[in-house]
Amino acid sequence: MVYGIIFGCIVLSLLFIYMLLQAFENNLELVSMTFPEFPKEVGKLSVFFISDIHRRKINSTMIEQVKGKVDIVIIAGDLTEKGVPLSRVQENVMILRKIAPVVFTWGNNDYEVNQEKFQELLKKSGVILLKNEIFYMNHNNIALIGLDDVTTQEVPSLESLLEDIEPSSFQILISHNPSVMDMLPDNHRLSLVLSGHTHGGQIRILGFGRYKKGGIEEKKGCKLLISNGYGTTLIPLRLGAKPETHLITLKPR
């Protein structure tokens, strides 16, 4: 009986350590996508995509891997949360700014901090803030549409927002919560949607979790990439849903 209890405690301790170590991994996923509508004159677009940083400090060594390979950095929400010092947010942003211009859209946890100080810090750090706004790249050939977190009261009609986009632009929607897919109008011209929020379930028992693991799927006439996210929520543990960032290369087909 005693040996059984000791053995059980050892197993649980090892599992805890494993989950803690997995939560702080620095995984860079390389993704290549081709689209028939991608503008040939652009050639290709390289995106460093990260979401759900929360309390983590971004690993500089991981960032070194993508230096000189990135055109734009996209943060799809939850850059911070309650209790995270602004100095850490600034440190993370400046690390990302070393590789390319940074675009940010809000996640639900970003609203847990003082908005005036948070936005002031991001603006002073040179971050492009997209709250229900459009940012054009490559002479209007690429349109990045940043939608506010869908759980807020500030989300406009997505249809009206999409109507304002240059029709010939290659359209990428950035939305923290992948449930935005339920809001897409039938006549949208989006090619790619980038989301996070779910953490891939974060802790999956025997392959099962609250949410499905992140990945890429075809949905409602466009590609949807849901990231497992870089940080964690509530507890700094992961199991079966490794943290991830993405280096995405977009090309014409």
Of 143, 76, 134, which is closest to residue 104 (Cα–Cα)?
76
Q: What angle do CA 112, 113, 119 make, to 5 degrees?
A: 125
pTM, to two decimals: 0.95
Percent of the residues in the chain that have a pLDDT greater than 70, as a whole number? 100
Report whether 236 contacts 57 (CB < 8 A). Answer: no
Percent of the residues in the chain that have a pLDDT greater than 90, as a whole number? 85
Question: Which neighbouring-strand residues pair with 249?
Answer: 32, 46
pLDDT, residue 244, reads 98
**What average pLDDT does the structure give for the chain?**
94
Considering its fold, how many domains does the chain have in total?
A: 1
β-sheet with 102-105: strand ranges across: 28-35, 245-252, 45-50, 72-76, 102-105, 128-129
Question: Which neighbouring-strand residues pair with 104?
Answer: 75, 129
The CATH number of whichever domain residue 176 belongs to comes to: 3.60.21.10
Render pLDDT for 76-103 as a digit per residue (tens, 0 to 9): 999 999 999 999 999 999 999 999 999 9
Model confidence at 7, pLDDT cuts 50, 70, 90, reads confident
Q: How far apart are CA 173 and CA 100, in angstroms?
A: 19
What mean pLDDT do residues 44-60 have? 97
Sign of the torsion angle spanned by Cα atoms 67, 93, 33, 31: positive
Residue 156 has pLDDT above 80, yes or no: no
Q: Which structural domain, as residue segments, surrounds residue 71? A: 2-252
- φ, ψ of residue 3 to 5 degrees: the values are -65, -35
Per-residue CA distances from 128 to 124, 145, 182, 207 (Å): 10, 12, 26, 38
Q: Cα-atom radius of gyration of the chain, to the nearest Å? A: 19
Q: What angle do CA 248, 249, 251 make, to 5 degrees?
A: 145
Please state at what angle helix 115-124 crosses helix 86-97, rounded to 10 degrees: 30
